[in-house]
């Protein structure tokens, strides 16, 4: 599967957070998130493993009991079932891969 860059196709995920599914296969799904400063990602958990890369901006990401301030080029991996959330410290773009595929993101 190929996907070409497009500035369209973003849908609201939460207040201040948009997502766009980029590509997916049988086992993984890649999503781009645009996050606005001041709009938190509430703590939550899901069964999918989630691996991410911060393209731009700054986040304070909590995974379980750990909290880290992240900047461009930083990355993370969240095991399925682990509670996580984020404060958006400045407008940010993140790319995340989910396994297995999140059917709700197709």
- Would the pLDDT of 20 be above 90? yes
Asked if 43 and 85 count as a contact pair (C-beta separation under 8 A), the reply is yes
Residue 89 in 3-state DSSP? strand
What pLDDT is recorded for position 29? Answer: 98
What pLDDT is recorded for position 42? Answer: 97
pTM of the model: 0.95
Kindly state the average pLDDT of the residues 27-45.
98
Whose CA is closest to 37, among 54, 15, 55?
15
- Would the pLDDT of 66 be above 90? yes
Provide the phi-psi class of 57: left if phi over 0, else alpha when psi is between -120 and 50, else beta: left
- Would the pLDDT of 1 be above 90? no
Q: For residue 44, count CB atoms less than 10 angstroms from its CB and return exposed for 0-12, middle for 13-18, buried for 19 or more.
A: exposed
Q: Where are the domains of the chain?
A: 12-105
Q: Decide which of 3.40.50.150, 3.30.70.20, 3.30.360.10, 2.60.120.10 is the CATH code for 12-105.
A: 2.60.120.10
Average pLDDT score, the chain: 97
């Amino acid at each position: 599967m190929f996907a070409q860059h497009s500035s369209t196709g973003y849908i609201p995920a939460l207040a201040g957070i948009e997502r766009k599914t980029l590509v997916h296969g049988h086992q993984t799904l890649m999503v781009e998130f645009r996050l606005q400063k001041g709009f938190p990602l509430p703590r939550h958990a899901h069964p999918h493993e989630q691996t991410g890369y911060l393209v731009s901006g700054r986040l304070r990401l909590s995974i379980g009991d750990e909290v880290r301030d992240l900047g461009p080029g930083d990355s993370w991996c969240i095991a399925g079932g682990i509670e996580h959330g984020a404060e958006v410290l400045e407008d940010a773009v993140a790319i995340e891969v989910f396994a297995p595929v999140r059917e709700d993101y197709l």
